[in-house]
Structure 1
Amino acid sequence: MDLRSLNYFLCIIEEGNISKAAKKLHIAQPPLSHQLKLLEDELGVKLIERNTRSLQITEAGKALAERAKQILNLTENTKKEIKDISQGLQGTLSIGTVSSAGAVILPDIIYQFHQKYPDINFEILDEDTSKIIQLLSSGVVEIGIIRTPFDNDMFETINYAEDPMIAIAKNFECEEEPDVITFEYLKEIPLIVQKRYEKKIRHLCKSYGYEPHILCKSNDVRTILMLANIGMGVAIVPKNCLNLIPNSDLEYVIIDEPNFNIGTSILWSKDRYLSNVAQRFIENMQNHMPSII
């Protein structure tokens, strides 16, 4: 059993078809089928049940697939580690970030790091929090930047100070204090919200005895702010997103509700090899970001 046979086996499972797997691997179908049979003969078990319509993975096949992924990931991480040692600090750092947090804090962090390590390149993937967790778990990215709260003990984290949520709109008016409101004062007002906060917002509005009028929901904070800027409704966003759209006419008030402040976390996997580049990036954040707690 070698790495190539494990890679072939995983590809067959992922494609669900030997012909498709052969095409993806750029080999003919008969040799791939033969490699699968050799692997089954070597292990003395049936890994895949074949019929004319589909492939069905056996329990033994499922167990091997899980181990194969771990072996191949470990092999790839070992290659990276040896390359780090031999070549020093260079290469590409992959970062997954939610757009709102990334746009606010990432430019300064990357600029500081680039000034110190100009040979490092960056790959930035903008996704939602759940997708970033998947990307970290699979090793596609080494560093994640997400909004709190999130429930996962698989990661090491650096936590930024929490930021209040605000209601922001064109010509926002409120009869209460000029800079603080509760959801009691947003009844019947069209709201523009981020999808991940919709459930919490609905819960808070219900505590004041009404169903909120959610006009629009989106994952993209810039879209939310632009809709507010043309007068479509009141946007609910973290306060540090205020300047994501320049030259706007937006006005805001802080929303004073229990447990409605939002934090930002930098995270990385506990169980995966962390490249020298990623380690230095984390150290740089810890040394240069005064808002980290």
Structure 2
Amino acid sequence: MELRHLRYFEAVATELNFSRAAERLHIAQPPLSRQIRQLEDELGAELIDRTARPLRLTPAGRFLLEQATQLLARVREVGDATRRIARGQRAWFGIGFVPSTLYGVLPELIQRFRAGQPDVDVGLSELTTVQQRDALKARRIDVGFGRLVLDDPELTGEVILQEAMVAALPAGHALLKRKRLSLALLAAEPLILYPARPRPSYADQVLAVFRAQGLSPTIAMEANELQTTIGLVAAGIGLALVPESVQRLHRDDVRYRPLAEAGAVSPVIMNFRTGDDAPTLAAFRRLVRGVLAEASRR
């Protein structure tokens, strides 16, 4: 399935008429019909009910139209932004992040950076810390926020936060009677480990916290997404150790408790290319320092 297939299908699906769609696309009707048939054959699904008058989309066709509209809109946005950048009208700044950092200071940083740099297009990419390393070196992003130290001379990492871990428990759990929970108590409970892959990741930091106390937790299940992990906690499958900022994800069926051990932390690390003196990166780093200084005074 290629972009032209989606463009042709979008035209036919919105016009519900092959002749009008062909005129809109500036092509003849027979090749357009062949392209739609080719798309249906590739997907193994009928997209248009040709027996109906006027033409009607099938359920599969309605789904594809919704998805194709979103994809093509994004492609047009990328094309427009690329042309603006090529003409020197705008700069582009790419930010990579692991999902758990979105519960902390990162949203404020993005919001304030966009407001203060109106001539800069900000691109956001959800990437693991290891993926951020590759994206930085390939210049697909300009800065990354992760939780792992990247031992690479081409990259510089700054620890901007040491975030405490907290225990997430289902509402009504017996341990909620305590104000703080020791890792020894948690090791006796089934644990949901996040993320399951790829590794190394935050999951290895959680395991290291237990190992530092000579403990080996019982892994009840591994999940790839943070939201899934919290949902499994709510379902009573097990407990989880998550960064404290995740508490902003309010759910009536999940409660959080701090840990008794002070050393149970996970860093938030800002990575960028070593020696990168781009003005946009310098402005972003100044903003990070300012926002963190404000937060420390609150």
Task: State whether TM-score is above 0.5.
Answer: yes
Which residue pairs with 1:114 in the alignment? 114
Structure 1 segment 47-196 matched on structure 2, within 5 A: 87=88, 90-171=90-171, 172-174=173-175, 178-195=178-195, 196=201
Q: Is the 8 A contact 2:188 2:218 kept in 1?
A: yes
Which residue pairs with 1:212 in the alignment? 217
Q: Is the 8 A contact 1:142 1:274 kept in 2?
A: no
- The equivalent position to 1:251 in structure 2, one of 251, 255, 267, is 255
Alpha-carbon distance in 2 for matches of 1:231, 1:202:
21
Structure number with higher relative contact order (C-alpha < 8 Å, ≥ 6 residues apart): 1
Q: Is the 8 A contact 2:100 2:246 kept in 1?
A: yes
What is the deviation of 1:109? 0.8
- Amino acid aligned to 2:260: D
- Amino acid aligned to 2:266: I
Which residue pairs with 1:263 in the alignment? 267
What is the deviation of 1:127? 1.3
Q: Is the 8 A contact 2:147 2:202 kept in 1?
A: no
SS at match of 2:265: coil
Alpha-carbon distance in 1 for matches of 2:215, 2:268:
30
Q: Is the 8 A contact 2:192 2:233 kept in 1?
A: yes
SS at match of 1:180: coil
Sequence identity (%): 19
Deviation digits for residues 233-259 of structure 1 (CA, Å, limit 9, x no counterpart): 111111111113x34332122223464
Q: Is the 8 A contact 1:165 1:254 kept in 2?
A: yes
Which residue pairs with 1:222 in the alignment? 227
CA distance change for structure 1 residues 287 and 219 in 2, over 3 Å: closer, same or farther? same
Q: Is the 8 A contact 2:165 2:244 kept in 1?
A: yes
- Amino acid aligned to 2:190: P
Deviation digits for residues 48-77 of structure 1 (CA, Å, limit 9, x no counterpart): xxxxxxxxxxxxxxxxxxxxxxxxxxxxxx
What is the deviation of 1:203? 5.2
What is the deviation of 1:87? 4.3
SS at match of 2:192: strand
What is the deviation of 1:153? 4.3
Which residue pairs with 2:10 in the alignment? none
Q: Is the 8 A contact 1:146 1:264 kept in 2?
A: yes
CA distance change for structure 1 residues 186 and 104 in 2, over 3 Å: closer, same or farther? same
Deviation digits for residues 134-155 of structure 1 (CA, Å, limit 9, x no counterpart): 1112211111111144444433
Which residue pairs with 2:289 in the alignment? 286
* Unaligned stretches of 5+ residues in structure 2: 1-84, 196-200
TM-score after normalising by structure 1: 0.60
Alpha-carbon distance in 2 for matches of 1:103, 1:131:
20
CA distance change for structure 1 residues 253 and 153 in 2, over 3 Å: closer, same or farther? farther
Alpha-carbon distance in 2 for matches of 1:170, 1:190:
12
What is the deviation of 1:287? 2.2
Which residue pairs with 2:39 in the alignment? none
Q: Is the 8 A contact 1:179 1:252 kept in 2?
A: no
Which residue pairs with 2:73 in the alignment? none
What is the deviation of 1:201? 4.1
Alpha-carbon distance in 1 for matches of 2:227, 2:137:
28
Cα root mean square deviation, aligned: 3.1
Alpha-carbon distance in 2 for matches of 1:268, 1:131:
13
Task: Report the count of equivalent residues.
Answer: 207
SS at match of 2:184: helix
